[in-house]
Structures are given as C-alpha cells and as structure tokens.
Amino acid sequence: MATSACDLLLTNAVVVTMDPQFTVHRSGSVAVRGDAIVAVGPEAAAFDAGETVDCRGRVIMPGLVNAHTHVPMTLLRGLADDLRLDVWLMGYVMPVERAFVNPDFVRLGTSLGCAEMIRSGVTCFADMYYFEDAIAETTAAAGLRALCAQTVLRFPTPDATSFEESLARARDFIGRWKGHPLIVAAPAPHAPYTCTPEILRACAELAVEFDVPLHIHLSETALEVEDSRRVNGMPVIPWVKKHGLFDAKVLAAHCVHVDDGEMRALKNANAGVAHNPSSNLKLAAGVAPAARMLALGVNVGIGTDGAASNNDLDMFEELRLAALLAKGTSGDPTAIPARLALAMATRIGASALHLGHLTGSIEAGKRADLVVLDLDRLHNVPAFHHDANGVYGQIVYAAKSTDVVDVMCNGRWLMRDRRLLTLDEAGLRRAAQEAASRVDAFLGTREVSVLQKLVAVGGAVEQESFEAQVKARVPSAEPVLAVLNSDHVTIVRSSHYHQFDTYWSFDDPEQGWLRYREDEFLDAAGAVTGARSRLTLTGRTREDHFGAVLLSRSRYYAPATHSTRFYREYFRPAAERIVEKDRRRWLVAFRGVEFYVHLDRLIVPAQEGFFVEVKSRTWSRRDARDKAAVIADLLALFGTRPDDTISDGYADLAAGEGR
C-alpha cells in the first residue's frame, strides 16, 4: 500500500474525536495536511509525515467552541459587579462604551480575549459587538476561527448614528469577508427589545442574501418575555418568527425562558442556541432548559458571554457548569453527562454556529482545529479505563483550562507548551491596564457628581429659577376654596394630581437633592386620567427671607425612563425620604399678579389639615419683595400666616419615614 503524505503527524495520544460515534483512540494519531485533518486513528499512523510530534500521555481533542461572546469586553472585565442587569448595562456598560469604544479599543480587547481563549483551548467563537470589522481583522491575525457578527440596534451605537447606518455597515462588512478561511461575517440584531420588527426582517434578509448566520440574544430574562407578552401579545420566539427571523440561520444566545412549543420552533428553524451558564447565573437571569432543548434536537452550544458579565472566557468552567446546572436544577444527576457537555462545547456548538461542516470534531475532512491536554497533573490523576466514558469525566469535572498545552487552529499552531505564538501577552497586559486606568478616571469624575451620573443615563435639561414662595398650614380646605371662588381672585386654570415623590440626598450636600416624581392626573371625580414621571436634581438652594422666601436654585430635569429601584441602585443616595400628597393646583391672578396656589393634603407623612403654597416666578429681589407683600395679603384672606418651618417639598417632614 502506497503511503500518503501529510505535513504533521501527532502520535501516541488519547484522541477524543467527538465525532458522532464518540470514537476514542487510546493510542492514536492525527494527520494534518495544510489547514485540514486528513486522517485519524490507525489510518493516520500510516501517513508519511513532514514532522511528527509525540503526544505520549496526552489527550488530543477538538478545539472548544465558545458559542457566544462579546470579545472586546475583556477590557471591561470587573467594571461593575453585583448589580442588576439594567443598572449594570444602562448605568455602567453602555455609558462607558459610548465614551470609549472605537476601533483601537476593540482591537486591544479582541487581542486580549483571543489570548485568553487560546490559553483555555478555544479555537472558534461567536462574537457580537461594534466595529466588528476590526474584531475580524484582529481575530484572523491571532489565528482563531470566528463568527463575527456586526451589531444592529434601533438607537445610535458607538459605530453608527442610526439603524440604517449600522445595517449598511453590516452589509459592507459581510461582503468584504465572504470566503475568508477563518472569519464568517454576519449581522447581529442585538435583541428583539432593542430592535424593531423592520430591523429583524432586514437583518434576516441580509443573512439570507449572503448565506451567512445571524446572531441575536433571545429570551434572556423573564422580564423580556413578560414585556413581549404584554406589548406583542406573544412570547419572544413566536414574535421573532412572525417577523421572518428564522428565514436566516439563527444563532440565539440565552433562550433561558422558553417553553416546549418555543423549543420546537427553534428546532424546526434549525436555530442554534448558545447556553451561557456563568453570565445567566451572575446576572440572575435564570438557567436555560439546555437538557430539554437537546432532547428535542436543538443544537445547544456553550458560551461565556462577554467578560463584563462572567468575568472570564474560560470554557472549561462553562462546560462544567453546563453539566452541573442541568443536574442541580432537575434533581437528576444523569442530566447532561460529561460526554454530552463536551459535545456541546465542541461538535454541537459548531453546529449551533452553523459551522459544523468546518470544525467541532477530529474527523478527516474537517479543519485542523485541535488542542492537546496534559491530564497527568495532580488534580487529574489517576485515570480509570474500565468505562470508556471515563476520559470525558476527567476533562469536564477535573481538567482546568491551564491543562491545555498546545492549540492548533486551521492547521497553524497558536500555542506550544503554553507559550502563545501569535500574540504578545506581556504587551497586552500592560495595554489593558492602561485602558482600564482611563475608564477609571472617567468613572471617578462621574461617580462624584450626581449631575454627571444623571447626564450619563439619559440627559438632563438645566433650568435656573428664582421664585417668591410661601408655605402655610390651614386646618381645612374651605377658607382657601372660598377665597379662590370669590371675586378677589381670577382663576386662569386649575388641575388636580396625586403625587408620589422620592427624595434622595447625598453625603456631600453640594450635590443637592434628587427627586423622582410620579404624578397621576385626576379628573373632577378624582379618577386617574394619565401619569408622568420625571427626575429633578435641585442644586443647593439659596434663600433670602423677607416675609416670603426668595428661592434661587438651579434645577435639572430629566425624563424618568427607569424605575425608582433603578435610580436608587444607580445613584446610591445616603438617605431617602418619601412624600405622597394630593395636590390641587391653580394659576390665579390676584391684585394684578399671577401666582400658583397649591392646596396640598399630605398622605405620607400623614399630617393633620392642609398646606397652602403660594409661589410666583420672579427675577429680582425688589420684585420678590413686592410679591411677598401681595402673597401675605392673600394668605390673610385664607386666614393663615407664613410658616417657614416647612421646607420646600415637605421632605423634612418625612425625615425618618421611608428608608
């Protein structure tokens, strides 16, 4: 028999092929020619090799497939931990990304992430981020295989001012990388809740046009699914299906909250799923029903997600967690056995990325993506051979990423004897720390200013105000109403509210007060007709007293688009006061001057009687003094006198209430 030639022959290894039959060669060989595996096992031994490497005592297995990550986010590792998803994402990650993410940032983060992944035995990953072109370039230079997906969102991103621009960027990117040996470029509509149906459809059409996969986050949190039910009348999976998403070859990250019907829909669409154990645990999203999805035939791979929510890219940790979580959440220790977990991190994961024809197992015809493990270390001896599956348990339950000694991708060595061959590790460590110092400085200035933090999460409009104001107590509403209905005053307009105020103060009084106000508008019968909420940051108030109080202060208004809980966790105030009141409000003319008259009944803190507040915008001390005299006359008609013990906003009365 004529011998065939190959470039490289790896011999004497335990070859864990992860092929569909789970073939293991006890003392096996792998023959590599160019970028491909040409023979495995006994056939390989017959090859005439340019170079032979003796792998005695070692395990050769396919390179791991990290099915979901945002690789440049390695630079945000440890940026903000132990926060709720919205505070973490909208309060920290997105503002920092808006300020720092540019092509240089993603190149550095990608190099750092690639170095970390090579060290832990990853040869292929699925990415989703901004400036994906720079990520693809950097990844190809590092020698790794990747599905690089360009993010498309309905709002501006670090690399596009509009959805149309990011879609055009994605199209250009995909066209440019078509046919590359390592990189598959794809579109990534970020998630249904950050996209519109039009974006989902446009991205699916783009993926179909170029015959590339589509990467998206689906059903990550229970809240996302609840919102979808409420707003769209159906859960996430049927909704994206309705908008044509599954016309594309989908890779869906998370799928934590999906029911059986949705899992079947994923299977029927041949969508791959990326299960992200650490990220879902850390952000308390839940645990994906990975075992059930696998049982229904869905290709479920394993991902690390970005380093900001993990905080590392260690696939050994993830595949162990995938096996353990399935057991712990089901009470069934046979759920996701080690062999299946390793398949998820290799062959099944590659299929989830729609790259199963290229990578994920050690089989003739596939690309030479493989790793060599040293399982002869203290934490991994002895080895038993009575059960053929023993090696999977060793790899999944005992091995560590540091047991990876050699890594090859596409026939090229990326690491030998734990030395990286394509990346400068010391240089990356230094550059990453420099980048972190710049982010530290940015957050450092922001964290000391409530205003800067307010601007970071949604903008604030400044309004300087000067007003003459008086507060007084009245035992009952009747005298006030009687005067307002008399000939003494002319009512310009009136309204009625139920107001819920949360006041936050800070250790540094110079920061002022932050108020979260929710107003319910009430009709004449007291029924709620509408609502609004807003944030007001009131700078330190300067006061002058002359009968009325002249208040001068700067105020910043911002729409309150998040919950009180979000702002409380984000701003971390030193104290909180709650005020709830029923407010009737009139704009009146009295002796030729316009005033606002507020008649307040305090519900929290509960107070006897009513409070009257009379105020008018003013512009000078002289004007304020003149108005003070008129206000005093109006209060006299109401049968009361100014009471300057009541603070603006009643927050002082609420001391000790709330938290």
Name the residue nearer to Zn ion (CB basis): 322 or 628: 322
CB atoms within 10 A of CB 47: 23
Please choose, from the candidates 316, 314, 315, 333, the residue with its C-alpha nearest in 3D space to the C-alpha of residue 324.
333
- Residues shown for the chain: 659
Angstrom distance (rounded) from CA 14 to CA 390: 12
Name the residue nearer to Zn ion (CB basis): 116 or 305: 305
> How is residue 654 written in tokens?
């609420």
CB atoms within 10 A of CB 230: 8
Q: Does 576 sit near Zn ion (CB under 5 A)?
A: no
Q: In the complex, what is the shortest distance from the CB of residue 68 to Zn ion, in angstroms, rounded to a whole number?
A: 6
| Contact (CB, 8 A) for 554 and 503 | no
Name the residue nearer to Zn ion (CB basis): 305 or 613: 305
Angstrom distance (rounded) from CA 554 to CA 566: 24
Residue type, 226: E
Name the residue nearer to Zn ion (CB basis): 86 or 544: 86
User: Can you list the pairs that 561-566 forms with residues at least 24 positions away whose Cβ atoms lie under 8 Å?
Assistant: 561/458, 562/86, 562/90, 562/457, 564/502, 564/516, 565/84, 566/84, 566/86, 566/87, 566/90, 566/91
DSSP 8-state class, residue 313: -
Q: In the complex, what is the shortest distance from the CB of residue 274 to Zn ion, in angstroms, rounded to a whole number?
A: 8
Peptide bond before residue 605 is cis, with ω within 30 degrees of 0: yes
Segment interacting with Zn ion (CB under 5 A) among 298-306, 315-323, 394-402, 560-568: 298-306
Could you tell me how many residues of this chain bind Zn ion (CB under 5 A)? Answer: 1
Q: In the complex, what is the shortest distance from the CB of residue 327 to Zn ion, in angstroms, rounded to a whole number?
A: 25
Name the residue nearer to Zn ion (CB basis): 155 or 546: 155
Angstrom distance (rounded) from CA 250 to CA 168: 20
Which residues between 62 and 81 bind Zn ion (CB under 5 A)? Answer: none
Segment interacting with Zn ion (CB under 5 A) among 189-197, 303-311, 472-480, 611-619: 303-311
Q: In the complex, what is the shortest distance from the CB of residue 276 to Zn ion, in angstroms, rounded to a whole number?
A: 7
Name the residue nearer to Zn ion (CB basis): 224 or 580: 224
Q: In the complex, what is the shortest distance from the CB of residue 139 to Zn ion, in angstroms, rounded to a whole number?
A: 17
Name the residue nearer to Zn ion (CB basis): 188 or 651: 188
Binding mask 254-293 for Zn ion (x = CB under 5 A): ----------------------------------------
Q: In the complex, what is the shortest distance from the CB of residue 87 to Zn ion, in angstroms, rounded to a whole number?
A: 17
Name the residue nearer to Zn ion (CB basis): 143 or 303: 303
CA dist 13 → 19, 28, 236, 474 (Å)? 16, 5, 46, 91
Q: In the complex, what is the shortest distance from the CB of residue 251 to Zn ion, in angstroms, rounded to a whole number?
A: 11
DSSP 8-state class, residue 610: E
Residue nearest to Zn ion (CB): 305
Exposure class string for 531-553: b at 16+ Cβ within 10 A, else e: eebebbbbbeeeeeeebbbbbbb
Q: How far is CA 102 from the centre of its chain?
A: 19
Please choose, from the candidates 80, 10, 77, the residue with its C-alpha nearest in 3D space to the C-alpha of residue 45.
10
The angle subtended at Cα 517 by Cα 512 and Cα 521, nearest 5°, is 150
Angstrom distance (rounded) from CA 330 to CA 326: 6
> How is residue 47 written in tokens?
């090859």
Name the residue nearer to Zn ion (CB basis): 305 or 648: 305
Segment interacting with Zn ion (CB under 5 A) among 25-33, 264-272, 302-310, 620-628: 302-310
Segment interacting with Zn ion (CB under 5 A) among 152-160, 225-233, 301-309, 630-638: 301-309
Helix (H) or strand (E) holding 427: helix 425-447
Name the residue nearer to Zn ion (CB basis): 11 or 280: 280
> How many Cα atoms within 13 Å fall on the side-chain side of residue 551?
22
Q: In the complex, what is the shortest distance from the CB of residue 148 to Zn ion, in angstroms, rounded to a whole number?
A: 14
Among 305, 501, 613, 648, binds Zn ion (CB under 5 A): 305
Q: In the complex, what is the shortest distance from the CB of residue 69 to Zn ion, in angstroms, rounded to a whole number?
A: 7
Regarding beta strands 183-189 and 145-152, do their DSSP bridges make them parallel or antiparallel, or are they unpaired? parallel
Q: In the complex, what is the shortest distance from the CB of residue 151 to Zn ion, in angstroms, rounded to a whole number?
A: 10
Residue type, 637: L
> How is residue 563 written in tokens?
């919950």
Name the residue nearer to Zn ion (CB basis): 133 or 305: 305
| Contact (CB, 8 A) for 144 and 118 | yes
Name the residue nearer to Zn ion (CB basis): 216 or 653: 216
Name the residue nearer to Zn ion (CB basis): 305 or 501: 305
Segment interacting with Zn ion (CB under 5 A) among 84-92, 304-312, 418-426, 513-521: 304-312
| Contact (CB, 8 A) for 105 and 435 | yes
Q: In the complex, what is the shortest distance from the CB of residue 217 to Zn ion, in angstroms, rounded to a whole number?
A: 5
> How is residue 180 written in tokens?
């590359």
| Contact (CB, 8 A) for 148 and 135 | yes
Structure-token match 């832990």, residue found: 120
Segment interacting with Zn ion (CB under 5 A) among 297-305, 390-398, 505-513, 593-601: 297-305
Segment interacting with Zn ion (CB under 5 A) among 300-308, 331-339, 348-356, 473-481: 300-308
Q: In the complex, what is the shortest distance from the CB of residue 282 to Zn ion, in angstroms, rounded to a whole number?
A: 12
Which residues between 141 and 160 bind Zn ion (CB under 5 A)? Answer: none
Q: In the complex, what is the shortest distance from the CB of residue 23 to Zn ion, in angstroms, rounded to a whole number?
A: 34
Q: In the complex, what is the shortest distance from the CB of residue 644 to Zn ion, in angstroms, rounded to a whole number?
A: 55
Strand-pairing partners, residue 187, are: 150
Name the residue nearer to Zn ion (CB basis): 73 or 431: 73
Using CB under 5 A as the criterion, which residues of the chain lie in contact with Zn ion when the complex forms?
A: 305
